[in-house]
Amino acid sequence: MLKTIDALGDLRGKRVIVRADLNVPLDGTTITDDGRIRAAVPTLKRLLDAGAKVVVISHLGRPKGAPEEKYSLKPVVSRLGELLGTEVAFATDTVGDSARETVRSLDEGGIALLENLRFNPGETAKDEGERRVFAQALADMGDAYVSDGFGVVHRKQASVYELAQLLPSAAGELVLKEVESLRKVTDDPARPFVVVLGGAKVADKLAVIDNLLGKADRILIGGGMAYTFLKAKGYEVGQSLLDEEKVDTVREYMERAEKEGVELILPVDNVVAGEFSADAESTVVGADGIPADQEGMDIGPKTAELFASKIKDAATVFWNGPMGVFEFEKFAGGTKAVAQALADAEGYTVVGGGDSASAVRNLGFDESLFSHISTGGGASLELIEGKELPGIAILEEGTK
């Protein structure tokens, strides 16, 4: 069992450090998808209502252990304040003078956001000792710790793992909801259980396929990863994304699926273009007829229809990865069709974070149409793979 906020006792006047995941996409300083900020609100509101002094910590992007203006969390401050209905103080460093003074100045029911954790090399250091030094500097500013950044619980990082060892710790509302929702998919899913996988890299999803071959009733493969499967069937894939090294592995999985009675469903047609651009001239071709000078940009209309029919009667659906280059409107049709199929399904539907979650929001779907939209792409995949997530394991009862 995960330790919950209730286990931390009376938090009035206590400094509670909350590891959130505010790693939102930015266009300059404009937030293009605030889903992760909104997901952090329930835990933060609960702590503020309890009279805690709330210190929010997060990363954004991939800075190399030093400050970079384009990765500053400053653009997040005003949106977080709007959603919480209160002013959010901002510290311009992580554990320096600004952070310490900002935390010291907090009143009961006040909240502050510290600058990007990854501006300090200790956050992501490979050396445990270095991570622990940074975690201790963070811990010195708090009385309790709440882990609510599900998107990073699969990482052994200072603010996720070591910090949880240094303070009384608990899982936040979001982490509890994520784990509960994803375990409904992995532990004993209602059937038929359908898995839809897409995205660019087949290598990212092989462990998921491996784990689900014995659990899923149907696995639908789209996106860039599908072309490695089509190649394994002996088809020409032209200039499409291809992981040549994984063709044999993929072929073995296809044979295994057949032996175990799992339907492994590949595209029957594709939208192809001669160049990777938003307005490239495109055509629809059969999956076995991609011209040598063309690349796949999306699943075709027949595939979209096929996938929707395979999702329709599902009792449980897990979807991770877009069906094509959904960022280009012209090639968003397949992703939109899958999202619509999940929205229409009567079963338990989980959108597994990352690009899939962004696609659902950017394509205008009402989030309430899905049972759960995960905030963590990598974390949700690793949980579905059956891996132990360090940031979850450290919050289990019996650990400090």
Measured CA angle at 1 (ends 130, 383), to 5 deg: 65
Q: Is 296 annotated in some ligand binding site?
A: yes
Query: Using CA atoms, how far apart are residues 157 and 166, in angstroms rounded to an integer?
Result: 13
DSSP category for residue 288: T
- Name which of 276, 310, 294, 311 is nearest 284 in CA terms: 294
Burial class (CB in 10 A: 0-12, 13-18, 19+), 138: buried
Options 36, 132, 246, 336, the catalytic residue: 36
Query: Using CA atoms, how far apart are residues 287 and 304, in angstroms rounded to an integer?
Result: 13
Options 172, 238, 354, 391, the catalytic residue: 354
Q: For this structure, is 172 an active site residue?
A: no
Options 38, 45, 378, 387, the catalytic residue: 378
Q: Is 327 annotated in some ligand binding site?
A: yes
Question: What six digits make up the tokens of 146?
Answer: 């709440």
β-strands 282-286, 269-273 pairing: antiparallel
Q: For this structure, is 330 an active site residue?
A: no
The answer to whether the CB of 183 falls within 8 A of the CB of 176 is no
Q: Is 118 annotated in some ligand binding site?
A: yes
Q: Which amino acid would we find at residue 37?
A: I
Q: Residue 284 contacts by C-beta under 8 Å, 6 or more apart in sequence?
A: 269, 270, 271, 272, 300, 301
Q: Which amino acid would we find at residue 121?
A: P
The answer to whether the CB of 138 falls within 8 A of the CB of 57 is yes
Q: Is 22 annotated in some ligand binding site?
A: yes
Q: Is 10 annotated in some ligand binding site?
A: no
DSSP category for residue 387: P
Q: Is 199 annotated in some ligand binding site?
A: no
Q: Which amino acid would we find at residue 220?
A: L
The answer to whether the CB of 345 falls within 8 A of the CB of 310 is no
Query: Using CA atoms, how far apart are residues 290 and 229, in angstroms rounded to an integer?
Result: 14
Q: Is 282 annotated in some ligand binding site?
A: no
Q: Is 251 annotated in some ligand binding site?
A: no
Q: For this structure, is 377 an active site residue?
A: no
Q: Is 23 annotated in some ligand binding site?
A: yes
Q: Is 353 annotated in some ligand binding site?
A: yes
Question: What six digits make up the tokens of 231?
Answer: 């190649």
- Strand-pairing partners, residue 26, are 31
- Name which of 334, 308, 326 is nearest 194 in CA terms: 308
Question: What six digits make up the tokens of 396?
Answer: 């289990």
Options 38, 45, 100, 201, the catalytic residue: 201
| CA quadruple 365, 176, 313, 298: dihedral sign | positive
Q: For this structure, is 46 an active site residue?
A: no
Q: Which amino acid would we find at residue 275?
A: E
Q: Is 258 annotated in some ligand binding site?
A: no
Binding residues for ATP: 205, 296, 327, 353-356
Catalogue the active-site residues. Answer: 36, 201, 354, 378
What are the binding residues? Answer: 21-23, 36, 59-62, 118, 155, 205, 296, 327, 353-356
Binding residues for (2R)-3-phosphoglycerate: 36, 118, 155
